[in-house]
A and B are shown apart, each in its own frame.
Chain A
Amino acid sequence: MQFLKLFTPVFIAIFLILSDYKFSYLDNVKQSIAKLISPIYLVVNLPSQLYIWIDEQGTTKQTLLNQNKQLNGELTRLKANLQTHNALLLENQKLKQLLGASYQISSQKFILGRVSSVSQSRLKKQIIINKGSNDNLAVGQVVLGSKGVIGQITQTTPLYSTVLMITDPTQYVPIKNQRNGIRGISKGVASNQGRLVVNFIESDFDVVLGDLFLTSAIGSKFPAGYPMGKVIHIEQHTDDPFLHIELAPIQTTEQLEFVLIGEND
């Protein structure tokens, strides 16, 4: 009897581990329990929300005017950049039509979210954002920062979503070198938050320090062309056919406040 009392829950736990790893039968149960315990995030975020509220209340009119002026300047600069971008996009589409290519650049819409907290798991590198299923967010959507890719939504509750970052060791992202298009797969390093390693680039390929890697959209997991990281270390081993490349992520979580979530088509 004592044996059963201990080993029944043990077997249930092992069953849960296997079913969560191999199948997705329990996803709905997980979502329901996540909804039930989501008030915990509310309590955890209460002090920071309070701080933001007090900070906003205490902001002087002059500070707001200065901020507004600065943001208007930034907006004008971005609009000017966008004109060049739009012209290039049009030119690209015309060339595609002339060549009869079927590939089309998709125009994606984004939702703005705020980072609620950073990393509360020992083994996963993730952030919590203040948008959830109430804002039509779903598992798998891509999250971007102002400088580059942050990660992908792995869990949603009505008010919050969990984003698994590109620096997590289980997050594999297809990438390409901006300079010459050489492709590889990046993943995070467990012991270092600020590093990515690139796999499957052969040792005779041309990669140099400072090269910028972008998302390549192979597998359609992440949209193409968003900055991932810059090469900071290259190593070549005689017994290994692949280069050992390390990147410094372009988008870090330090001082990260707002994120953009790509809407599903």
Chain B
Amino acid sequence: MMNTQRPYVFLAKITFFALIISALPLSQIVLEVSPFWLLLFFIYWLTYFPAKGRFFLALLLGVLLDILQGDILGQNALALILSGAFIANVKQSFFVSNLSTQQVYVFIASSIYLILFLLVHSLIQGFNFSYYLLFAPLSGALFWPLVKLALSKCKHQ
């Protein structure tokens, strides 16, 4: 019973931490180029913790982020579900890959996230956004080794 609970407890902890990072007051440019923190944390959890209902959890976490950031309800949720689905699809390969290959996967997942995020925004509020946002997948890939290291330390505590 304890073993099945652990992945969800870990997810709750890292979600809280990811939401805090996402709510940190940053300058506009830094905010726009910063990684999709919740996605990075969710990728780690998805890869290293076997659990059920992962897409429903992605929906829940995305909705929390939508409300925290005042975005359209479901915008981050949709992006997180489908980018999470990509990682779930390549999970076996991701798990055994070296760090740089993992960074490529993270870059692709972050790009899927960004495309869906901007697609929803453009359909509802028009094609009007800062182009600095396009650097977010790159920064996500660059920050992946740090996130992985930090979360692997936390996992073993």
Contacts and interface: CB of A to CB of B under 8 A. Distances in A.
B20 interface: yes
B24 A9 contact: no
B74 A13 contact: yes
B118 to A, nearest CB: 8
Q: How large is the interface on B (under 10, 10 to 19, 20 to 34, 35 or more residues)?
A: 35 or more
A14 B73 CA distance: 9
Contacts of A191: 129-131
Contact of A43 (B20, B72, B74): B20
A40 B38 CA distance: 14
Given A44-B20, A119-B31, A124-B70, A190 B129 contact: yes
Interface stretch (A15-23, A98-106, A220-228): A15-23
Interface residues of A, number: 42
Interface in A1-21: 5-6, 8-10, 12-17, 19-21
A238 B147 CA distance: 53
Given A117-B23, A120-B23, A169-B128, A16 B31 contact: no
Nearest to B80: A13
A40 B68 contact: yes
B128 A37 contact: no
B81 to A, nearest CB: 5
Interface of B: 16, 19-20, 22-26, 28, 31-32, 55-56, 58-59, 62-64, 67-75, 77-78, 81-82, 85, 117, 120-121, 124-126, 128-131, 133, 136
A37 B124 contact: no
Contacts of A26: 73
B70 A121 contact: yes
A180 B5 CA distance: 68
B67 A44 contact: no
Contact of A124 (B25, B58, B71, B124): B71
15 contacts: A13-B59, A13-B62, A13-B78, A16-B77, A17-B72, A44-B23, A120-B24, A120-B25, A121-B31, A122-B32, A125-B28, A154-B70, A170-B125, A190-B128, A191-B131
